[in-house]
A and B are shown apart, each in its own frame.
Chain A
Amino acid sequence: MNSFTFKNRYLDVPKRVISYFSPEVWVVILSIIFAVGATTYYYLHGYIIAYGDAESHLNIAKRVVDSLTPGFAQLGGIWLPLPHIFLIPFVYFDFLWKTGLAGSIVSGIAFIISALYIYKLALLLTRHRGASFFASLIFIFNPNILYLQSTPMTEMTLIVFFILSSYYFILFLRNDKKIINLLFAAFFGFCASLSRYDGWALVLMEAGVLFLFYFPYRFKFEAFIEKFLDDDSSDQIQILERKERISGPLSWSRLEGRLIMFCTLAFFGIILWLAWDGLILGDPLYFSHSQFSANSQQQGWLARGELPAYYNIFTSLIYYFVTSAETVGFLVASIAMVGIASFLINKENRYRILILLIAFVPFFFNVITLFLGQSVIFLPGVTPITFDWTLFNVRYGVMMLPVFALFSGYIFYRSGTLGKALVSSLLVLQCLLFFMGFSSVLALEDGRAGLSSFIAKIPDAQGWLEENYDGGLLLTDDYARTISIVRLPIKMQDVIYIGNKPYWEESLIEPEKYAKWIVMQKNDSIWKNLIDDELKQGRLYKYFNKAYTSEDILIFKRIADN
């Protein structure tokens, strides 16, 4: 038997290189490299605006600054406005709008900040730099998030505010004397609530946790308090202080004061949005039950019997659990679940239940919305193959990625050398499984071939119009997504859509008044107005020639003399 000695000095050079920057800086460097690399890759492969929604987000932002009727009213009343507001400075430039890179910039920045704050959040829970770095690597290496951070989709915007708000909230739980942390949590909660509706659940949960944190329900359980406090700290002075806080006369007033302070800012976003919908669209709850709302779309699936999780809590749990587990990869999900169990049973973790309640907000939110029929996920392997589609909205699973990353880092921290090696190997193996195609990059697959995809069903009409469009205003029902505006050689000022008052309304009565081109799809608003109505149909044919015909799509061009 021979042997060699691996001397510590062999590691001097790598150690010197690593210690050149702090772990935080390394996280930022790595996340920038991966963000830029992924965006470049997806840009070259044409996947940045693969989702139909991706283009819609770009167009909403573009119309605010550059359309027939520019202005903030173009933000609409269904999708929350903050991601679109972030896009505005970038979509102003046509190149960034048409390529979708405007969205890549916004999502990319959100990705980098998210990676950094996952590191910081893990450090907060573990005080272990290696484990925290590992947690951020889980996030950075995930191909689903790498894809989404290269697109204009709104998930990344929510994730960053979700992480930031959670970070400062947990920081506050650890030391409630620093009110500034609660204010930061509220502010980022406010931002989250204006990014996606998941953010509403976050601020609600944070308010609930704050209530639980201060509510003096424990004063009756003296023995329990003693035990609870003993578990938390051995510092007797701190124990007394906390005991005073928990059961003392100040607790009610603290609860009241801090809850009001938090809610005033955190819920302001929600109130703003309700007011916006009320003022602009005449119904504060327009987003929840208008014809364009997700709820209305789900009714179609329900009518077809293809809403499997509807009022079925078990199926809802299965759907979201499997979606999130497949998004991070089953190996990493397994690591994380062990981490969650370990975190939960370790009594040294202060406020572990409260922290888990915050962390699991995306899970609760998605399960509840699936259960109530407010959202739908179709996932291969879970959705019956008899359904029209088996891949849809699977990107919702990425909302759990920060949680899985965090608790993977936690189990790394809790493991011995062998355990750390095992956990690291599983991460490498999971990356390999993604690379080999054994694990699907679900978010990308949905964009490429799922129901969310636009590029999977680009109609011939798109190509025809790209070749034949020769300027002039174009009337189209944007909601029907008949054609892709960013892919056409057309300016946003030349598009008439439902948000261009009074152009839209007048065009549906006198189509020749503004438009040179009309693109319509069977049963969209234009079709219903101009084809189904015989009188208007006559007018349409009087002023327009049918330039393109397919089974579902008609394109009209105004007769030159008119």
Chain B
Amino acid sequence: MKDKFAIIFIVILGIVMYGLTLHGDIGNPTVGEFKDKLDQATNAFELSPERGRYIHIANMADSGVYNLSPEWGAVAYPDVGISKKGKINSYFAPGVAYIVLPFYIIGNKFGLAQVAAFSVEALVSIITLIFIYLIGRRVFSLPKPVAFFTVLIYGFASVSWSYSTTLYQHAFSTFFIVTGFYAVWRFSKNDSKYSWVYASYVWLAYALALSVDYPNAVLMLPVMVYFAISAFPSQKVMGNVSVSIRWAAILTFIVFAFVIGLQFWHNATYYNGWSSLAGELQKYKPTTITSDSLATTTVKEKTAIGFFHEYRIPNGFYVLLFSAERGLFFFSPIFIFSLLGVWHVIKKKTANGVVYIVPLSLIAVNIFLYSSWGDPWGGWAYGPRYLIPSMPWLALFVGVALSYKQKFWKILLACLFFLYSSAIALLGVLTSNVVPPRSEAILLPIKTYNFLHDIPFLLDNKSNSFIYKVYFADKLTLLGYLLSIYVIVLIVVFIMLFMLYNKKDE
């Protein structure tokens, strides 16, 4: 199997799988359709993050401005704030809304505004899958079946699936980090006339990553440090250190400056100043929410970094990695193999260690950052959604583990773990992301706070899938639909692992 064919297969698989599970429904939702309808579990706007982003898109398409009318503000509640100038905005960074806007406009013409907007997530996820494969093959030097398997792990055996079919920031963040890393790697090879293109892209990816989610400024730092090291390659010459300057990396900073300039303009226009962030807006309570006559605001000063603190790390670390609520290893135990991969990398001590150190740093920064976040659960969510940017790298380290001494028991175990992880991922993407944290679940009639929360939806045939709702709801139970998709995944995985096992002696 040539890489070209593998990539084509990834694209086809991505289109099929994401297509079958994309959240949504027919139509161009209007203000009145959200409350108690579309904002219910197993509907396209079941949670405020997707609502908050979507309504900005709809608002921009309708009125040409980013800030919301009070009616749209009520839809975005509770993740909505108000600037000192009285402009109502959601708390989310604006990048996703701007990027998705053209697709919304096209979809709007066909009565599929919401589906078109959400499909952008699937699109960037498919591109991410391609780059995971390329990194696996070219950077990590993984065998083809293993590189393909890493793609399957990220795409269809992790909760990234649930967030590749709805309007969140995670797919975009991951996309920019993965492609940014690949661009830096290509840039660092210094063997092509396209250095300027790669350098421009790295800056662009960093700026856009910032615009879709502010913490990406920190999350993507390892990639940028790698970029900086590549921009100033050094070598020892007769006892002295000779440092070179690759001007492409420095001059293309203008790309970053331009995009960030736009971000500053946005902040100045819609928030409290050029350096103000969406999360710093004061809380906005729509009149429909309170009995007060007018919208009210809280007075406490908010800061973007105020939610991060070291004392939260122990709990956050536990919640994100091990807990039954959101734990990575609980939802996707296939990632346990990544620890083995990391161990092999450390033991191997390759000369090209930087290509492993950067991903390891990305994972470490991601875990460190969101462990210290006030809400590591990610609100009501399915799995450890804040760790999605780490999942491509974890999947690649699973690949490293599998490519090292390909023993039968290891492949069998990986296969079993994959089956479990994929089933959980599929359950989430087909039903709902509306899973409460434990502290809130115990107050509810259904006291479940992990994927078990979605089982009743499955049994009641309540799905978030656009295709299922429109084409299969009256022909097939949701369980049947789930099993059909699962079988596709299984066949692909078994083929890959069979190929891997048969090639172990090569």
Contacts and interface: CB of A to CB of B under 8 A. Distances in A.
Interface of A: 1-8, 318, 322, 326, 329-331, 379-382, 418, 422, 433, 436, 438-440
Interface of B: 234, 237, 239-247, 305, 308-315, 353-354, 357, 368, 372
B339 to A, nearest CB: 14
Contacts of B240: 5-8
14 contacts: A1-B244, A1-B247, A3-B243, A5-B237, A5-B242, A8-B239, A322-B314, A329-B310, A331-B368, A379-B311, A381-B315, A418-B357, A438-B372, A440-B309
A330 B305 contact: no
In the complex, which of the residues B247, B311, B368, B372 has the most CB atoms of chain A within 10 Å of its own CB atom?
B311
B198 to A, nearest CB: 14
Contacts of A8: 239-240
Contacts, number: 61
Contacts of A381: 311-315
Nearest to A382: B314
A440 B237 contact: no
Contact of B353 (A2, A379, A418): A418
B310 A439 contact: yes
A3 B233 CA distance: 9
A6 B368 CA distance: 36
Nearest to B312: A381
Contacts of B305: 436, 438
Given A322-B314, A330-B313, A438-B310, A2 B242 contact: no
Contacts of A331: 368
Nearest to B235: A3
Nearest to A433: B310
Contacts of A326: 310-311, 313
A382 B243 CA distance: 48
Contacts of A436: 305
Q: Which of B244, B309, B310, B357 has the most CB of A within 10 A?
A: B310
Given A381-B313, A418-B353, 14 more contacts: A2-B244, A2-B245, A4-B243, A5-B241, A5-B243, A6-B234, A6-B240, A8-B240, A329-B310, A330-B313, A381-B312, A433-B310, A438-B308, A438-B372
Contacts of B312: 381
B348 to A, nearest CB: 14
B354 A440 contact: no
Contacts of A329: 310
A464 to B, nearest CB: 34
A4 B244 CA distance: 6
A440 B311 contact: yes
Contacts of A318: 314
Q: Chain A: interface secondary structure?
A: mixed
B315 A382 contact: yes
A422 to B, nearest CB: 7
Contacts of B311: 326, 379-381, 440
A326 B313 CA distance: 9
A418 B354 contact: yes
A322 to B, nearest CB: 5
B343 to A, nearest CB: 11
Shortest 4 CB-CB contacts between residues of A and residues of B: A381-B311, A3-B244, A6-B241, A439-B310
Contact of B309 (A5, A322, A422, A438): A438
B247 A2 contact: yes
Given A6-B240, A418-B353, A440 B245 contact: no
A6 B242 contact: yes
B246 A1 contact: yes
A379 B310 CA distance: 12
Contact of B243 (A6, A418, A422, A433): A6
B149 to A, nearest CB: 29
B92 to A, nearest CB: 23
B440 to A, nearest CB: 16
A242 B315 CA distance: 49
A89 B266 CA distance: 65
A426 to B, nearest CB: 10
Contacts of B314: 318, 322, 381-382
Contacts of A379: 311
A520 B312 CA distance: 40
Nearest to B371: A330
A2 B241 CA distance: 14
B221 to A, nearest CB: 10
B164 to A, nearest CB: 31
